[in-house]
Amino acid sequence: MPRLLVVHHTPSPAMQAVLEAVKEGAAMVEEVELTVRPALSAGPADLLACDGVLLGTPANIGYMSGALKHFFDTVYYPCLDATVGLPHGVYVHGNDDTAGALAAIDRITGALRWKRVAAPLSLTGAPGKDDLEAVRELAATVAVGL
C-alpha cells in the first residue's frame, strides 16, 4: 500500500483547519496509508519510508517556517540520492503573501530532485470553504500520484 507522509508546521487555528482538510482529502483515496508528522519531529526515517510527501507551512516574514526548514536541513544529505523522483506537493498559508515561502520550497525540492505532482497551493487570510476544498483536492491529488 502506498504511503503518503504529511510534514507540517501547524502553529495556528487556520493551519489546523488546513491540516484537517489535508487528512480528509487523503482519506478520499483508497489504498493509501497516511502518516502525519510535525516538521520538528519528522526525519530521514519517515521520508525514506514513504512513497510521497505533502509539505505544509505558514509563510513567516516571506519565508517557510523555521520548522519546515529544519526538516529539510535534517533530511537533505541522508535522503538526497534515495529520494530522487519522490512525488510531492505543498501548501502554504500566509496572512498576505506566500511567494517567498513557495519559491524557497521549490528551490529545495528541486535540489532534492523530487517530482511535483500537484500545483503548489497558496492560501492567504482565514481559510474559507473553497480554500479547504482546494486543500482536500491537493491532498487527494498527491495521494493518487503515488
Tell whether the torsion through CA atoms of 39, 44, 49 and 50 is positive or negative: positive
- What's the rounded mean pLDDT across residues 7-17? 97
Residue-range domains of the chain with CATH:
3-144 (3.40.50.360)
pLDDT of residue 90: 98
Question: How confident is residue 29, by pLDDT bands cut at 50, 70 and 90?
Answer: very high
- Residue entry with cell 481559510: 127
Q: What is the pLDDT of residues 110-142, one digit of tens each?
A: 999 999 999 999 999 999 999 999 999 999 999
Helix (H, G, I), strand (E, B) or coil at 72: helix
CB proximity list for 114: less than 8 A, separation 6 or greater: 53, 83, 84, 85, 86, 87, 88
- What's the rounded mean pLDDT across residues 2-15? 97
Q: What is the pLDDT of residues 40-60, one digit of tens each?
A: 999 999 999 999 999 999 998
Question: Which residues in 125-136 are b (16+ Cβ under 10 Å) and which e?
Answer: eebeeebbebbb
Question: How confident is residue 96, by pLDDT bands cut at 50, 70 and 90?
Answer: confident
